[in-house]
């Protein structure tokens, strides 16, 4: 891999900050989804994909270096949470952004409908077992946030959780938001850095992508009949997402509301946010102590004497 010179590195980091800062929500008070346009591309020409790909490539290379430092320094873990409507590009974004990193330092978990065993536990239980180890990057493709989204839009899913009846009240969602906020503060205080991405897709673009999946036999496998059913609840989902972001955005665990109508732009913003986050951790390779250095020199002598 070509290493960026210190000057290039500063320039890439600065560019990354410029791409992610406009979409970072660290305090959700007064947040409205319509504050972010799904087809936003900032100053980039939306037809100039080549330029965007070049920017992404330099970001991906820098990310590999930052991940190496994260692993070597073994202090923090990074948890990246992805939430979105179907066809917003979660899978593709994860694939492209993480393409340069060492697979050994990265763990991806996709959360589907809970199993019978999951339902017999509290809703954070299954996620808690999948948290990244120190030094690793963990990716949640969907997460415990589904508990404030799909479960809110479909009350029958809440009924399946068999909660004690006195706990099921109108306050339930506010309580879940509060519990999640506290859970994420707890993680932060234990060195797990949490960053959350909502890929913000427009309803029109989802329709275009669904139609493509239906027209193109090579993409048929990506389509599921349930996707259309969930689309019918679009407005209720948008309300749920908006409230979720309002109540759970914090400085310790900010949301990035990422425009998702142009996949190349989504990838750029997500890569930028990860780079910016890791850069701020000021990750250093462990310093070799004098005694360890002496031991290394002795080992070298021993090998040379063989
Ligand atoms: P994706 O839709 O994420 O690209 P997929 O199509 O491979 O992945 P699905 O079988 O659609 O996988 O599984 C995801 C489904 O699981 C979503 O509809 C999601 O709402 C649902 N799900 C995830 N977490 C929960 C939860 N806690 N409670 C109920 N349903 C959940
Ligand atoms: Mg699906």
Q: What is the mean pLDDT of residues 197-221?
A: 96
Ligand nearest the Cα of residue 176 is 1
The residue range of the domain holding 252 is: 6-305
68 belongs to a structural domain: yes
Provide the pLDDT confidence category of residue 2 given band limits of 50, 70 and 90: low
Instruction: Record the pTM.
Output: 0.95
Q: Is residue 217 in a domain?
A: yes
Query: Residue 24 — left, alpha, or beta (φ > 0 → left; ψ -120 to 50 → alpha)?
Result: beta
Top pLDDT among 241 and 46 is at 241
Counting ligand 1 atoms within 8 A of each CB, the residue from 83, 89, 112 with the most, and so the one to mutate, is 112
Would you place residue 162 in the very low, low, confident or very high pLDDT band (cuts 50, 70, 90)? very high
pLDDT at residue number 50: 84
Nearest to 89 by CA among 182, 11, 198: 198
1 part of a folded domain: no
Residue 291, domain member (yes or no):
yes
Question: Does residue 115 form part of some domain?
Answer: yes
Number of Cβ within 10 Å of residue 145's Cβ equals 26
Model confidence over 260-290: pLDDT tens digits?
A: 999 999 999 999 999 999 999 999 999 989 9
Confirm whether 59 is domain-assigned: yes
pLDDT at 95 over 60: yes
The CATH number linked to 216 is: 3.40.50.300
Task: Say if CB 80 and CB 138 are below 8 A apart.
Answer: yes
- Atom in ligand 1 nearest the alpha carbon of residue 154: 29
Domains of the chain: total: 1
Position with higher pLDDT, 170 vs 7: 170
pLDDT for res 47: 79
Sign of CA dihedral 174, 175, 178, 184: negative
Residue 185 lies in a domain: yes
- pLDDT tens profile 12-43: 999 999 999 999 999 999 999 999 999 999 98
Give the pLDDT confidence of 134-161 residue by residue, as tens digits. Answer: 999 999 999 999 999 999 999 999 999 9
pLDDT at 1 over 70: no
- Ligand 1: residues with CB < 6 A are 86, 91, 111-114, 142, 146-147, 150-151, 157, 224
Q: In what order do the strands lie in the sheet with 137-141?
A: 24-25, 255-259, 192-200, 77-84, 137-141, 106-110
Give the mutation target among 142, 157, 222, 237 for probing the ligand 1 site: most ligand atoms within 8 A of CB.
142
Residue 48 backbone dihedrals phi, psi, to 5 degrees? -100, 70
Question: In this structure, which residue's CA is closest to atom 4 in ligand 1?
Answer: 86
Is residue 152 domain-resident?
yes
């Amino acid at each position: 891999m070509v290493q960026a010179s210190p000057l290039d590195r500063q320039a890439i980091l600065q560019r990354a900050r410029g791409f992610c800062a406009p979409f970072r929500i660290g305090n959700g008070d007064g947040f409205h989804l319509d504050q972010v346009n799904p087809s936003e591309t900032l100053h980039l020409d939306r037809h100039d994909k080549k330029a965007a790909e070049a920017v992404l490539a330099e970001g991906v290379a820098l990310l590999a270096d930052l991940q190496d430092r994260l692993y070597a320094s073994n202090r923090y873990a990074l948890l990246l949470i992805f939430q979105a409507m179907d066809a917003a590009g979660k899978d593709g974004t994860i694939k492209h952004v993480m393409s340069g990193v060492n697979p050994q330092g990265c763990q991806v978990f996709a959360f589907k409908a809970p199993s019978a065993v999951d339902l017999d536990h509290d809703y954070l239980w299954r996620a808690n077992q999948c948290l990244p180890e120190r030094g690793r990057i963990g990716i949640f493709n969907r997460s415990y946030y589904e508990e404030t989204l799909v479960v809110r839009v479909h009350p029958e899913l809440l009924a399946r959780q068999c909660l004690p009846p006195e706990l099921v009240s109108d306050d339930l969602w506010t309580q879940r938001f509060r519990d999640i906020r506290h859970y994420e503060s707890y993680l932060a205080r234990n060195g797990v850095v949490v960053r959350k991405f909502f890929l913000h897709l427009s309803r029109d673009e989802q329709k275009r992508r669904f139609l493509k999946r239906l027209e193109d036999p090579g993409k048929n496998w990506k389509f599921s009949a349930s996707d259309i059913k969930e689309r019918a609840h679009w407005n209720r989902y948008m309300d749920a997402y908006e409230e979720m972001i309002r109540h759970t955005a914090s400085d310790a665990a900010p949301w990035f509301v990422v425009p998702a109508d142009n996949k190349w732009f989504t990838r750029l913003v997500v890569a930028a946010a990860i780079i910016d986050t890791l850069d701020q951790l000021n990750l250093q390779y462990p310093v070799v102590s004098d005694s360890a250095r002496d031991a290394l020199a002795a080992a070298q002598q021993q090998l040379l004497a063989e």
